[in-house]
Amino acid sequence: MHIDAHYPKCFVYYLILGSWLLSCLLHFEYFHLSRSSFAAPRSAALIVLPIAPDASFLPTPTVEAYNRQRSTSSSVVASPSQSSSQPWCEGRYVFMLDVPSRFDMLRDCVAGSPLFDDMWSWCAITVNAGLGPKIGPVAGNGSDGDTDIIPSTGWYSTDQYSLEVIFHNWMRRYECLTDDQTAATAVYVPYYPALELHQHLCGFNTTVRDGPSEAFLRWLSSQPTWAALGGRDHFMVAAKTTWMFRREPGGRDEGCGNNFLGQPEARNITVLTYESNIWAPRDIAVPYPSYFHPSSAGEVVAWQARARAAPRPFLYAFAGARRIKGQLAIRDRVFDVCEAAARRGRCGMVDCSHGLEGSITCRSPRKLVSLFTSARFCLQPRGDSFARRSSIDSVMAGCIPVFFHRPSTLKAQYRWHEPEPGRTNSDDRRYYVLIDSNDVLEGRVDIEEELSRYTDDEVTAMREEVIKMIPRFLYKDPRVRFEGDMRDAFDIIIDEMIARMRRIKNGEQLIWKGDGEDRDEDLIASDS
C-alpha cells in the first residue's frame, strides 16, 4: 500500500532516470561513430577515382584528399567548395577552369567507339587515368628480353605523351582546389594542347594545325580569371617538347607542329613541357612520365632496393633508332659503337629502327627496364630534341645516364626536380657523365674507353645518387590516396608553381624560370 500510494511520484523518478541513461547512451554512440567516420582508413584501403571516358570535363569528384603536410591520421574530403575552409591551404589555393566540351579531346574516347579500341589512338592513353594498361606478370622464360625485374604492382605501360591526362586527374583531387577565383593563387587550365596537335601533327596546312588552339586561346582570354593579370597566373601542361608548339609563322604546310606558344594570348601562361626553351620564362620542363606509378612509399623503397641489387653485366646500354640520311651524326655513332660492343658482351641494346616492329619493341616497358637495370651506364644521345624520355627511364632503373650535349642533362632541363634538397650546387654530387659529341665524332674520345675509366666504387656512388633521385622523377598513381610520406614530381611541380605565382602576384618580373639566375648561355651548343 505504501508503494501504491506513491506510485505516480516513483514513476516520474524512474522515467527521469531512464531518460538520462538513454541520453548518455546515445551521446556515447554518436561520439564513437563520429570518431570512426573521421579516422584514417586502414592501410589496405585505396580511394579510387572513377575512370571516365571524359577525364577532361567531369565535375570534381568527392574523394578523400591526403594532406601531405599533416598527420596521416586525419582525412578530409577534397572538393572546390570545401577546400576554401582548410587553414593549411592558405596561399596554396588553385582555381581549375571549367573548359567547354567543344575543346574536349577525349569526347570520343568512350567504350565501344573505334578510337577507344584502337591501340594507336590517343584514347588508348586514357586507361587507368592516363597511366595506361597495367603491366602483368612476365610471360615466357625471358629469352625475348623480358625478365621478371618489374614488380607485380605499381607499373604501367604509360605513353610518353600522357602527362596532360595524368596531371589533370591529379589536380582533380588536389586538396586546395577552390571555387573562389579571388582566393586562388594560381589558375589551372585543363586543356590538352599536345593531344589536340597530335591529330594533325605533320603534313597538314598551317590553318588546320593552328586553328583549334587559336580558338581555344580566344576563349581562354575572354574568361573572368584572365582579366586581373592577363593570364600570368595561369598554368597548363603541354605533353610534348616546347619546339612542337613554336612553328615559325608563315612556315611551309609540309612541316610539323603549330604556333600555340607563339600566339599573343599564350605569352603569359606558364606552360609545363617535356623540354623547355631555355630563353623563355613561361614554359618550364617537367619530367616525362615513367612506367612506375606507386601508391605507397613502401613500393618506392622496395624498387630502389631492387634497382640497387640488380646484376649489371653490361658496361653500357642504348635503346633507340637511327635517323634517316644521317641527320643526327652522334646518334648514328652511338648506334655503331653499341652494336659493335654488343658482340663482345659489353653493350646491351634495343634497336627501334625497323618501322612498326621497332616501334612496338620500344614500347615494351619490360624490355626497356630489363635492359637499363642490366647496365652500369645508359647512353643518351639527343633525338629529335635534346630531352629524351629514355633519360627518365634510366633514372628509374638506377642506370647512370651518359649525355653528349649539355642541354640534354637533367640539370639543364629539370631545374625544379634535379636538385637534391638540402644540397647546394657547390656540393660534390656526381651522378652522370657528359661527353662532348664533337670529341666523339672527331675521334678524340672513345665512348667505351671513357666509361671504363670509372672504378667500381665510383660507379656504385654515382648509381646511389641516381637511385636517390627516383622519387623526385616519378608520378604517383593519381587515383589513390598515397600511403606514406614522399614528395614526387607532382608535389614538386605544385610547390614550385605556387611559389612562382606568388612572385608574379607580388609584381616581380620573372626573367629566367622564376629563379632569378642568369641565363646559362653555355647550354646552347653548336654540336649536333
How many other C-beta atoms can be found within 10 angstroms of the C-beta atom of residue 157?
19
For residue 20 the three cell numbers come to: 538520462
DSSP string, 108-130: T--TTSTTTT-TTSGGGGGGGGG
| Helical spans, DSSP H, in 382-478 | 389-396, 410-413, 437-441, 447-452, 456-473
pLDDT of residue 170: 96
**pLDDT in the model for residue 384:** 80
- Higher-confidence residue of 443 and 124: namely 443
Residue 281: band (very low, low, confident or very high) from pLDDT cuts 50, 70, 90: low
| Per-residue pLDDT tens digits for 67-98 | 333 333 223 334 444 444 678 899 999 999 99
pLDDT tens readout for residues 200-219: 778 777 778 887 888 999 99
Higher pLDDT, residue 171 or 513 = 171
CATH of domain 310-471: 3.40.50.2000
- Residue 512: CB partners within 8 Å, gap ≥ 6? 281, 518, 519
Reported pTM: 0.80
Which among 17-26, 99-108, 398-407, 417-426 has the top mean pLDDT? 398-407
Residue 421 has pLDDT above 80, yes or no: yes
pLDDT confidence tier of residue 378, bands split at 50, 70 and 90: very high
Band (pLDDT 50/70/90 cuts) for residue 18 is low
Mean of all residue pLDDT scores within the chain: 79
Give the pLDDT of residue 252: 64
Determine the average pLDDT of the residues in 163-169: 96
How is the chain split into domains, by residue range?
A: 87-285, 310-471
Instruction: Specify which residues 95 forms β-bridges with.
Output: 187
Contacts 24+ apart (CB under 8 A), 327-330: 328/381, 328/382, 328/383, 328/528, 329/437, 329/441, 329/528, 330/381, 330/382, 330/404, 330/437, 330/440, 330/441, 330/527, 330/528
Question: Is residue 457 within 8 Å of residue 421, measured between CB atoms?
Answer: no
Which ranges of 94-186 does DSSP label H, i.e. alpha helix? 163-171
- Model pLDDT, residue 233: 95
- The C-alpha atoms of residue 326 and residue 332 are separated, in whole angstroms, by 7
What gap in Å lies between CA 225 and CA 219, rounded to an integer?
12
* pLDDT tens-digit map of 471-508: 999 999 999 999 999 999 999 999 999 999 999 999 88
Cα–Cα distance, 89 to 490 (Å, whole number)? 16
pLDDT category of residue 119 using cuts at 50, 70 and 90: low
* Confidence (pLDDT) at 422: 79
CB neighbour burial string for 467-483, b if at least 16 within 10 angstroms, e if fewer: bebbbbbbbbbbbbbbb
Q: Is the pLDDT of residue 184 over 70?
A: yes
* pLDDT for residue 12: 40
CA gap 432, 434 in Å, rounded: 7
What's the pLDDT tens digit per position in 345-376? Answer: 999 999 887 666 556 777 789 999 999 999 99
> What is the average pLDDT across 383-396?
92
**Between residues 4 and 145, which one has the greater pLDDT?**
145
Q: What is the pLDDT of residues 286-330, one digit of tens each?
A: 999 999 999 999 999 999 999 999 999 999 999 998 877 667 899
Rounded to an integer, what distance in angstroms lies between the CA atom of residue 260 and that of residue 200? 13
The pLDDT-based confidence of 11 (bands split at 50, 70, 90) is very low
Q: How confident is the model at residue 46 (pLDDT cuts 50, 70, 90)?
A: very low
Position 514 scores a pLDDT of 42
Quick one: pLDDT band at residue 260, thresholds 50, 70, 90? confident
Residue 517 clears pLDDT 50, i.e. is over it: no
User: Residue 355: what pLDDT?
Assistant: 60
